Chains A and B, each alone.
Chain A
């Protein structure tokens, strides 16, 4: 079971007037958003709308040029084990699958015995036991992403940021990762995820945050969003993507 270490929730995450620019180009502008503990939040938008950027800002990997991003108990920062992130291309260390999980657990300061226990538990939980000794870098793309997800799971985060986690995977790999996302959600981890796969968004979303050209266009419940989006950009986005 995933649960907060000390029981107190870091949610909601509050973004106020968040802006970010590079070399004079505004990539994200005046985003006001509050992400609460309920349901799975999917961030949608066209390429370049600022989805990945928003996740990185929320996770603390980047500092906003304007505005503030705060959890309930203070500003966000990377390396806070209460929120984890899985990237589109899994970044695994040049070690065994198990050692990758052990390394992450060492970074949050767990004692060695606890680390070993939790690593085994995690590998078993997601059916990765057979891969434990294999060098992480020669696993298949799907296995690598599952390992990256498992590594995040072992940290028991309250919030998991997922940046297009299945963009490079085949249907079977996608399904496996989606099952893992469900396992996180069942355990009480808040999911905040970007995707450009609309079918996936329909499967997973409880609410949708739609970005258009660096601005928050709308934020709606999933059923409502896919049925009748409120903003014009979201309507044309859905129309353009709907042929299948």
Chain B
């Protein structure tokens, strides 16, 4: 890098639309958003189900989900690695060191967050709505869409928390993805690598982009929430 100041160099890299950098960002987004989508599809209704149902072992499940919110990414990565490694039960699929493996690992990481947060939101809502919804014949599985929709403003938090954890983590995708250039190199693994190599400009550039993405997403969600909340007349 000819520019000696890494901040300036990073900025130049970003504005020049460097293809390596663009590829890394695109892969990161693809992996993180895929994992987020899967976690939401499972976690939102799952959390709502947990909130409304009473069955033996439910308490353990709730505690398990809450505890897994703090699951260290490297441990999640290791577990998926063992599953996908050639000798593992899913080895024949040949997914290790592919973006799919990274999606799996990130899904495992953020599913507990989505489950726990949506369970909390829906539980509060259900205690308020239960009599009325049952009276209207809206109970069991039929109540889930109603409750998720009415909890939409609070559930944005679950979405953001999931995105934040998935986009920021490095340990799991490093283990199962292998940080292969042009194939499984994400923003976070690239930062780790480039920093170790002393290529601070690229690392910084990626860091700025990651921060920017997170900021834009959170800001957008906040503004949207404010607007929607006002137009939906949330009294709190």
By a beta-carbon cutoff of 8 Å, the part of chain A in contact with chain B is 56, 59, 61, 78-81, 84-85, 87, 91, 93-95, 103-104, 107-108, 134-138
Contact = CB atoms under 8 A, between A and B. Distances in A.
B129 A79 contact: no
B233 A85 contact: no
Contact of A79 (B135, B146, B231, B233): B135
Contacts of A104: 136
Contacts of A94: 150, 232-234
B232 A107 contact: no
B132 interface: yes
A107 to B, nearest CB: 5
A137 B138 contact: no
Nearest to B233: A135
Contacts of A138: 233, 235
Contacts of B132: 87, 91
B136 A107 contact: yes
Contacts of B131: 56, 61, 87, 91
Contacts of B232: 94-95, 135, 137
Contact of A61 (B134, B138, B146): B134
A108 B137 CA distance: 7
B195 to A, nearest CB: 46
Contacts of A136: 233
Given A61-B135, A79-B134, A107 B234 contact: no
A78 B134 CA distance: 6
Say what secondary structure dominates the interface of chain B. helix
A81 B137 contact: yes
Given A78-B135, A79-B137, A108-B137, 20 more contacts: A61-B134, A61-B135, A78-B137, A80-B137, A81-B137, A84-B135, A85-B135, A87-B131, A91-B132, A93-B146, A94-B150, A94-B233, A94-B234, A95-B150, A103-B146, A107-B138, A135-B233, A137-B232, A137-B234, A138-B235
B24 to A, nearest CB: 41
9 contacts: A56-B131, A85-B135, A91-B132, A93-B150, A103-B138, A107-B137, A107-B138, A108-B137, A137-B232
A56, A59, A61, A91, most chain B CB atoms within 10 A:
A91
B233 A137 contact: yes
Given A78-B139, A91-B129, A95-B150, A135 B134 contact: no
A61, A78, A94, A134, most chain B CB atoms within 10 A:
A94
Contacts of A93: 129, 146, 150
A28 B150 CA distance: 35
B128 interface: yes
B197 interface: no
Nearest to B231: A135
Closest 6 CB pairs of A and B: A135-B233, A79-B137, A138-B233, A91-B132, A78-B134, A94-B150
B54 interface: no
A10 to B, nearest CB: 15
B131, B142, B150, B235, most chain A CB atoms within 10 A:
B131
Interface string B113-149: 0000000000000001101101111110010001001
Contacts of B129: 91, 93
A85 B136 CA distance: 9
A134 B136 contact: no
A196 B30 CA distance: 62
A20 B134 CA distance: 20
Nearest to B132: A91
Nearest to A155: B136
Contacts of A137: 232-235
A94 B234 CA distance: 7
Contacts of A107: 136-138, 142
